[in-house]
Structure 1
Amino acid sequence: MQKFLINQVSRLPETTLDLSWVYGYRGKDCRNNIFLLPKSNEDSDELIYFTAAVAVILSPTKQYQRHYLEHTDDIKCLALHPDASRCLVATGQCAGNGNGVTRPPHVRLWNYNTLETFHVINAAFDKQVVALAFSRADLGAHLFATDDSSDHVLRVWSISENETSPPEKIQEAKMTKDQVLGITPHPGKSKRLVLYGRNHVIFVSFEKDKIAKKSGVFGNVEKPKFVTTAVYTPSGDLLTGDSNGSIVGWNGNQTNFCISNVHQGGIFSIQIDPEGDIITGGGKDGRIVATSPEGEVLDETSLPDYVGGCRCVVLGRNGTIYVGTTKNAIMKMNFEEEYSTIMQGHFDSLWGLATSKTKKSQFLTACFDGRIVLWDLDYHKPVWTKVYNLSFRCAGIHPSENIAAVGTSKGEWLIIELENGEILHRGADGKKEAISVASFSPDGSFLALGSHDNNVYLYHVPGFRRAGRLHGHSSFISHLDWSDDSKHICSNSGDYEQLIWTAETCKQITQPSTMKHTPWATSNCTIGVNNIGIWPEGADGTDINSTSRSNNGNVLAAADDFGHVRVFEYPARQAQAPSREYREGGHSSHVTAVEFTADDKHLLSTGGMDASILQWTVVPK
């Protein structure tokens, strides 16, 4: 056994991380955020979109990703420059504050080929940048942005053809007290655009010295609660989709016609295909509908139920349609009812993560969205997905790789078959309190379940007959570790306490000093002598959510409430040990879990509210 000295000085780890794949897409609460890059060809489409603080460029056919990693918090909107030769994109983010660092909302202009940042626009945005658009008639000479202030201020910048010249703000004005959902520029008039959202369509024109606006008048058309999307036809006629499921045509700021009941519920996206037909996506009914300008339904197809409704429609080539969904998936479809999932993500708070210890290419996630997913990290796709009417909080894989345990937020736990996700056993503990940890012993003979009722419940495997209850903590159980010989359990609780137990008797070891030479199979407990150095100055006991020791025992990864993934030399016994930190362009929320893969070639991390999974390549030096 390797000996560690308490006075050993921690060094910066030689290991580094490279972000290699991002699982997820932000469709739950964002829109108009997938674009087909113009440089793409029929053999290799490239899509650009975002999730968490990462802008992702994905080739669905060639299965590669590139990542823009300069944002510091959630990206909320994206705009693609109409001049393909410039390869220019704008992304806007929300404000953030954590670990004493303020991250203001701003817009970044960057090149999607080189991933080089040209300019950062800080313009006293309030809360978040909610909508972006480049002008179209003048080939992107202007950039428009709206924030989430109480007056939803519209700002206009002049964009130089020379990337080295910074954008010049030429105008700004208050727009509306109501929520703004998007901006659509006029295709033929460079200084015209519309804003749309709750209770409004606003027609805007601007000059150097002023911005003028007119509210849309619905006249005989039933005014919707929300105007949810807007597009100009090639001839310059405006079409809007709304929460009534209607397509509305406009003449100036007056309604001209209405095609009612195209969808059951709101129309979240609307596009015009090369033949002039109107392609719409329904957020509630999940249908993609082709409608003639005269209102005749020409064709339709539907999304599978498990991906939710339509959030964003992108017209590809040869009849291909890319659809971003309300449950954070991206689909490739056509009207022949052929579809495939090219990106799947979770869409609620994600805490459950477990890696296989022998099947190097698989890992398991369990989420508050009711989904359990077994992933293949080589092909970056689910092996299977199961959806239950439960909120999952944790996951653990048995050493045999045949079964896994998942715990819920209401005290229920499931044993599932790892091959197909089928339920083999159900149990419940903890007076409907959350099961926050599920951990099998290294020899596979026990399952330990840490509960928010302050207890650890121990079960025999197989059969899942209760072996006992570990009672002694005065706060919820946060983390568990097993000794190498499966005889002892180390537990952490929410009041920063560490206790050690004998598994056979379920009794606490009252003199933990007798265990100081015990080798532990994992280092998941965030509070312990080998993890002292992971805690930043001023942190409380809840700021570190997860730790994982590499299987070779050299590196410790830690995930915290501030969006950081950090790697340390193991053991990290020196206070505030040096680490390599990965924050910008990664998770935008608290990072809930980290796990090394069996071969230590990858580290996986999960975001809480950003619901994303990041796959890092571990690069030894």
Structure 2
Amino acid sequence: MGVIPEGPLWVSGSDDNLSGTSGMEVDDRVSALEQRLQLQEDELAVLKAALADALRRLRACEEQGAALRARGTPKGRAPPRLGTTASVCQLLKGLPTRTPLNGSGPPRRVGGYATSPSSPKKEATSGRSSVRRYLSPERLASVRREDPRSRTTSSSSNCSAKKEGKTKEVIFSVEDGSVKMFLRGRPVPMMIPDELAPTYSLDTRSELPSCRLKLDWVYGYRGRDCRANLYLLPTGEIVYFVASVAVLYSVEEQRQRHYLGHNDDIKCLAIHPDMVTIATGQVAGTTKEGKPLPPHVRIWDSVSLSTLHVLGLGVFDRAVCCVGFSKSNGGNLLCAVDESNDHMLSVWDWAKETKVVDVKCSNEAVLVATFHPTDPTVLITCGKSHIYFWTLEGGSLSKRQGLFEKHEKPKYVLCVTFLEGGDVVTGDSGGNLYVWGKGGNRITQAVLGAHDGGVFGLCALRDGTLVSGGGRDRRVVLWGSDYSKLQEVEVPEDFGPVRTVAEGHGDTLYVGTTRNSILQGSVHTGFSLLVQGHVEELWGLATHPSRAQFVTCGQDKLVHLWSSDSHQPLWSRIIEVESRSVTQAGGQWHDLGSLQPPPPGFK
């Protein structure tokens, strides 16, 4: 519960109206109470998320124990059942939910989480059971119909020479000792091992292996062309995405979990105020048969990794580039912007999967769409040559354009964050920070030339300070509450300009870069590499025959030798041209695609 500050709240006088000074005092006190309430709600969200994660881990242990007991139990006798999970479920359900300020909003499910399908040491089929546990039969059927990946995955494993729809035949070349398959119309040749080549035949049916593959580790991060896509969850995991996979990475435990619900590249990500529910939006795509996959938004549970809702099938055009949850009304609304010519802005009641309103946002690129943290009726969008302040009233959206007045209008408004008092801070392509007063559309304070080049990322910290990340100058700068520069550090050139900044524990920051790397550190101690990936398309991959190593190369002229144990590059080399393939022979790695001699130390 919030504590009312000591001191008189109302001032008596000769008339019934408050004086200007007392009115300001009331506003300050109300603002302080709102901030305290927000902090307490955040603490509850952290506790709920941590307990949910503990439940997930406990259930995983119980499932492992039950499996071991089942192996050792005499035939005909059922293994004993554990009751711990049920008791923890009851404890979790007893936690208070985040109460909306208006007393309305959909109730949140907080108990009974399922085991993650991609967590280490878990059964491979747990993902299916978790979906069944949380979706009704009708909803599960609709999700199956909506997700063509469930259909294409099973058919793609059937290696035969038969045609399915427009799929081309598999071609076996005896002379080359290779099998050529066609993936989305593109030929993919695969060499047959020498010991199998003399007897290999497409007509030979092989027994399915007793074990199944499951995803263990995803390398890389998409920072080159996406923004605000790196967050820290209360479970200690950082969440981000690359390709069609949302990654939950526990740095402390060196463990990854993965949400695999999307069927094409993810472009945006948002975290619900409960810090458990996550929204991700994807691009349009096609199946291998050439059928279209519509862009949409998926709402999913970061503990169970189960899909809760799917929004916008057949509504969005090209891709969903921005998503954001409302904050102060329990998070029952979601805004989204697509990449159509009009960049349509839509607001959804995501729990009901219904669209509340949509409107044309801008003819130019939209980079950010977010709700104001203390007012659920206010949204902010920004991008090329604009920043708009939207008001949601009576099922319609109206906008006010941000006025730069005496300040030079930037070519791009690149990022947005919010201060404790509700003021809005933006960073732009001119390297400036602008503060927009709460409820207004005018600049109240400016920090000109904060960075040399664009300001790509902003993060308001818990202690009231502000962190900005620069593009051209690669600097991460800490600003005081009066916008004075307190500290700065430069990101190493190899990792590229800053794309986004996320707050960690203590003074730790996580930085995503435009060269698809994630760094960990602080403005006081500097940053070290956490996640590294290729900057452009990856074309070549080869494994070492006897070591836990593999090498990759691609269009970015980079060659990385990776350790599959540490999941980190052992070395990286820059070559003169783009690469298409690489192989290992005679104890050395050879870059075949570029036909270039290996650089010094290329072993």
Q: Fold match, TM over 0.5?
A: yes
CA contact (8 A) 2:496 2:515 kept: yes
Using the TM superposition, give the Cα deviation of residue 271 of structure 1 relative to its aligned residue in structure 2, in angstroms: 1.1
Q: Which moved more, 1:19-28 or 1:115-124?
A: 115-124
Name the counterpart of 1:145.
336
Match of 2:369, SS?
strand
Name the counterpart of 1:108.
298
Name the counterpart of 1:431.
none
Greater relative contact order, per chain length (Cα 8 Å cut-off, separation 6+): 1
Q: Deviations over 1:333-373 (max 9, x none)?
A: 112233221110001111121211122x0111122112111
Paired amino acid for 1:105:
P
Provide the TM-score with structure 1 as the length reference. 0.63
Asked if 1:281 is matched to 2:476, the reply is no
Matches within 5 A, 1:287-326: 287-326=475-514
2:245 equivalent among 40, 54, 74? 54
Aligned mates of 1:12, 1:75 — CA distance in 2: 35
Matches within 5 A, 1:31-180: 31-38=227-234, 40=235, 45-84=236-275, 87-99=276-288, 100-123=290-313, 124-160=315-351, 166-180=352-366
Using the TM superposition, give the Cα deviation of residue 389 of structure 1 relative to its aligned residue in structure 2, in angstroms: 4.4
Aligned mates of 2:286, 2:271 — CA distance in 1: 28
1:19 equivalent among 193, 215, 226? 215
For structure 2, the 5+ residue unaligned runs are 1-194
Using the TM superposition, give the Cα deviation of residue 390 of structure 1 relative to its aligned residue in structure 2, in angstroms: 2.9
Matches within 5 A, 1:541-560: none
CA contact (8 A) 2:550 2:561 kept: yes
Aligned mates of 1:108, 1:12 — CA distance in 2: 36
Name the counterpart of 1:619.
none
Asked if 1:421 is matched to 2:602, the reply is yes
Aligned mates of 1:274, 1:119 — CA distance in 2: 31
Asked if 1:232 is matched to 2:427, the reply is no
Name the counterpart of 2:72.
none
Q: Deviations over 1:572-591 (max 9, x none)?
A: xxxxxxxxxxxxxxxxxxxx
Aligned mates of 2:207, 2:441 — CA distance in 1: 62
Matches within 5 A, 1:406-555: 406-407=591-592, 409=594, 412-416=595-599, 420-421=601-602
Matches within 5 A, 1:180-329: 180-251=366-437, 252-329=440-517
Match of 2:215, SS?
strand
Match of 1:384, SS?
strand
Using the TM superposition, give the Cα deviation of residue 208 of structure 1 relative to its aligned residue in structure 2, in angstroms: 3.4
CA contact (8 A) 1:404 1:416 kept: no
Aligned mates of 1:92, 1:274 — CA distance in 2: 28
CA contact (8 A) 1:287 1:303 kept: yes
Name the counterpart of 1:379.
566
Aligned mates of 2:201, 2:482 — CA distance in 1: 79
Aligned mates of 1:183, 1:378 — CA distance in 2: 39
Q: Deviations over 1:173-215 (max 9, x none)?
A: 1111110001121111111010000000010011233111111
Using the TM superposition, give the Cα deviation of residue 17 of structure 1 relative to its aligned residue in structure 2, in angstroms: 2.1
CA contact (8 A) 1:397 1:405 kept: yes
Match of 1:339, SS?
strand
Aligned mates of 2:317, 2:374 — CA distance in 1: 31
Aligned mates of 1:388, 1:253 — CA distance in 2: 50
Match of 1:18, SS?
coil
Using the TM superposition, give the Cα deviation of residue 415 of structure 1 relative to its aligned residue in structure 2, in angstroms: 2.3
Structure with a larger share of its residues in strand: 1
Aligned mates of 2:217, 2:239 — CA distance in 1: 14
CA contact (8 A) 2:471 2:497 kept: yes
Using the TM superposition, give the Cα deviation of residue 274 of structure 1 relative to its aligned residue in structure 2, in angstroms: 2.2
Using the TM superposition, give the Cα deviation of residue 291 of structure 1 relative to its aligned residue in structure 2, in angstroms: 1.6
CA contact (8 A) 1:405 1:416 kept: no
In structure 2, do the counterparts of structure 1 residues 206 and 383 end up closer, same or farther at CA, with 3 Å as the change threshold?
same
Q: Deviations over 1:94-122 (max 9, x none)?
A: 00124222111000011010001011112
Provide the TM-score with structure 2 as the length reference. 0.65
Asked if 1:350 is matched to 2:538, the reply is yes
Aligned mates of 1:76, 1:414 — CA distance in 2: 37
**RMSD (Å), alpha carbons:** 1.8
CA contact (8 A) 1:241 1:247 kept: yes
Aligned mates of 1:246, 1:421 — CA distance in 2: 44
Aligned mates of 1:279, 1:8 — CA distance in 2: 62
Residue correspondences, number: 403
Aligned mates of 2:589, 2:528 — CA distance in 1: 27
Using the TM superposition, give the Cα deviation of residue 408 of structure 1 relative to its aligned residue in structure 2, in angstroms: 5.3
Paired amino acid for 2:378:
R
Identity %: 37
Aligned mates of 1:8, 1:256 — CA distance in 2: 74
Aligned mates of 2:287, 2:338 — CA distance in 1: 21
In structure 2, do the counterparts of structure 1 residues 7 and 235 end up closer, same or farther at CA, with 3 Å as the change threshold?
closer
In structure 2, do the counterparts of structure 1 residues 421 and 318 end up closer, same or farther at CA, with 3 Å as the change threshold?
farther
Paired amino acid for 2:554:
C
Name the counterpart of 2:590.
405
Q: Deviations over 1:116-141 (max 9, x none)?
A: 10111125100000000001111312
Name the counterpart of 1:521.
none
Q: Deviations over 1:198-239 (max 9, x none)?
A: 000010011233111111111011110000001111111011
Using the TM superposition, give the Cα deviation of residue 12 of structure 1 relative to its aligned residue in structure 2, in angstroms: 6.2
Paired amino acid for 2:281:
G
Aligned mates of 2:274, 2:287 — CA distance in 1: 38
